[in-house]
Structure 1
Amino acid sequence: MFDLFKSGSGEHPDDVKGIRHALLQFVKQELQKAEGGEGANIKGLSIYINCASAERQVYEAAVFTEDPDQLKNEIQRISDDYSLDLPTNWALTISFDDAFPDDAVKMQNLPVALFVKTKTHFVKQQATAYVKALSGKTLQLSYVISSEGGKYNIGRDEKAQSDEGYFRTNHIAFPSESDDERNKYISRQHAHIEWNKNLAKFVIFADEGGIPPRNKVKLRSALTEKIVKLHATQIGQELEEGDQIILGESVVLEFSFQQQNHE
């Protein structure tokens, strides 16, 4: 399967399956350089794509941008097949239009580069961010979240009983008794934010009460203005400065690294 294209050949695949096969072949060849137990030192893989705008849709489909865990699973399968020993918590990031890092390995037949993050590339990073409701009413005007703080639950009421009977603490809470009608459409266990130390970024996840058909979580990028829907609980989205988290139909939280002014 993975010998369909050679990264050093002149072949230039231009369809979704061909690009995906060529990319996976390239990743496999680079990961094989870490044989002999060195794969355990890999913290993550970053794939950089600088394709023409007319090709963007094809490349997005090739790397499963709608469901990035699919590509990660394909790479994990390569690791398992070739005993590359990737650690259980390795991370995958995919970037379009960003400049290729100096240490990245470039493909010869596609506008793609791979950067393998190892333990030597990582230093302990800490961050503080602020979350504020732009619509809907929270118990506090704004919330401070920290990379050291673990998981920050988002939902209706500070103490909420789940369908299974246990009580959950919502650190970012929308009170039921609020006069803001939009609060009623927030689930008791809607979403959560946590720090991913491999990515050195905050990540938003939908929880059971925030995925279709029960409810919705969407993320609007401040940079690109694109909106991404979260369809599954295990796949998160990285948060960047000014991003808006849309809960249900009309409740909006703003994420920022700048301290919020109370109005």
Structure 2
Amino acid sequence: MSLIDKVKNLFGLASTEEQPIASTSRPGEPVSVAPTSTTTGPPPAAQVREQVMRFIIGKLRAYQNEPDTAPAGIQLSVLCTTPADEELYRVVLWTNQPGKFEAELSRQLADNYITLPKNWQFAYTFFTDTLPDTTYREGNLGLVVVDRSKPDNAPLHARVTALVGQLEQPEYILDSAKKTTFCIGRGRTTQTASGRVRTNDIVILNEEDPSYDSAKGAGNGAVSRAHATIRFDPAQKRYVLLVDPGGLPAGGNKTKLIHPDDSIERADIAGMGYPLQNGDQIELGGEVTLFFELL
């Protein structure tokens, strides 16, 4: 020990030498060293969710105390360059609990004196290469705000017919000016898990229906009573397909899109909107196939 260290010890001052760590091990036993904790990987989903909420709320502050001009819908775009990023944002947006993110966002918007109309719409899309043109952009997030104070473009019409299976009507015309959500399922009505009675807009016939044809509708039973929904996305001016609980099996694939170029897209993520192209075929339950076309 140096003279300076001896003087410091005499007056009770700390030594410049590193003090040994007392060992609780017995002689001859290896000394255990407490591991140091390190944090790696992406931040927790709750933290990222709060960042997304702040991003949206910040961009909508112009509508504080302005309910008459509040946006009719918002479209969130998320750039995910890796599968891990996409999986994180699925958790962030509660994709396995449809409606939960929108409810929490509405609550936080209301806390900030931003009131959206009762039927406001929220949609999100994941991108792997680059974000599309958006109203606002911050990092890997983009936001399109549908301002209902601006005049809307002409309504978008589409038609749904059956290629395989039997519908209640020969065709169904979708008119975005009259309605934006069209439920697909077997039978006209069914009761959901919450107790609400769901009315299907595109009806696949039941065997007991008077007009049921056993030859045409042989595979109708593979379609769930609450199978899927076609929704008009006002932000992107397009129709998208959402898969309802009945179209999301624990295993296998009960809903998929067959595009005009013969590419096949599995539709098996709850709450995610799958854009519909003119000429798409929508396969339900592996037995019924609907044809979607824009008019």
| Shared fold (TM-score, shorter chain, > 0.5) | yes
Q: Does 1:65 align with 2:95?
A: yes
How many matched pairs?
235
Contact 2:67–2:117 (8 Å) recurs in 1: no
Tell me, yes or no, if the aligned pair for 1:245 and 1:253 is still in contact at 8 Å.
Answer: yes
C-alpha deviation, 1:135, in angstroms: 2.5
CA contact (8 A) 1:206 1:217 kept: no
Kept after mapping to 2: 8 A contact 1:45/1:92? yes
Following superposition, the deviation at residue 78 of structure 1 comes to 0.7
Q: How does 1:14-163 map to 2 (within 5 A)?
A: 14-37=43-66, 40-54=69-83, 55-97=85-127, 99-101=131-133, 103-104=135-136, 106-107=137-138, 110-138=139-167, 143-148=172-177, 150=179, 154=184
SS of the residue aligned with 1:24? helix
Cα pair distance change 1:154/1:76, threshold 3 Å: closer
Give the ranges of 4+ consecutive aligned residues of structure 1 lying more than 6 Å apart after TM superposition.
205-213
Q: TM-score, structure 1 length as denominator?
A: 0.66
* Distance in 2 of aligned mates of 1:68 and 1:83: 24
Letter in 1 for 2:294: F
**Whole-Å separation in 2 of the counterparts to 1:52 and 1:189:** 33
Q: More deviation in 194-203 or 116-125?
A: 194-203
CA-atom RMSD, angstroms? 4.2
1:118-168 CA-to-partner distances (Å, cap 9, x unmatched) read: 1244514312222232322446665443335647665557xx6878xx9x8
Q: Identity of paired residues, percent?
A: 22
Aligned to 1:183: 220
Query: 1:62 and 1:205, CA in 2 relative to 1: closer, same or farther beyond 3 A?
Result: closer
Unaligned runs of 5+ in 1: 1-11, 259-263
Within 5 Å, give how 1:218-229 maps onto structure 2. 218-220=255-257, 222=259, 225-229=264-268
Distance 1:227 1:102, change over 3 A: closer
Deviations 1:170-192 (Å, cap 9, x if unpaired)?
76554533214213444677666
1:5 maps to which residue?
none
Deviations 1:49-100 (A, max 9, x none): 2231242222232223344522212210111222211211221121222634
CA distance in 2, matches of 1:117, 1:132: 30
Q: 1:121 to 1:229 in 2, by over 3 A?
A: farther
* Inter-partner Cα distance in structure 2 for 1:114 and 1:26: 9
TM superposition shift of 1:206: 7.0
Counterparts of 1:169 and 1:20, CA distance in 2:
33
Alpha-carbon distance in structure 2 between the residues aligned to 1:46 and 1:71: 13
Is this contact kept in 2: 1:203–1:239, CA < 8 A? yes
Please tell me whether the aligned partners of residues 131 and 143 of structure 1 are also in contact (alpha carbons under 8 angstroms): yes
Unpaired runs of 5+ in structure 2? 1-40, 192-196, 206-210
Taking the aligned partners of 2:91 and 2:63, their CA distance within structure 1 comes to: 28
Whichever residue aligns with residue 284 of structure 2, its letter is L
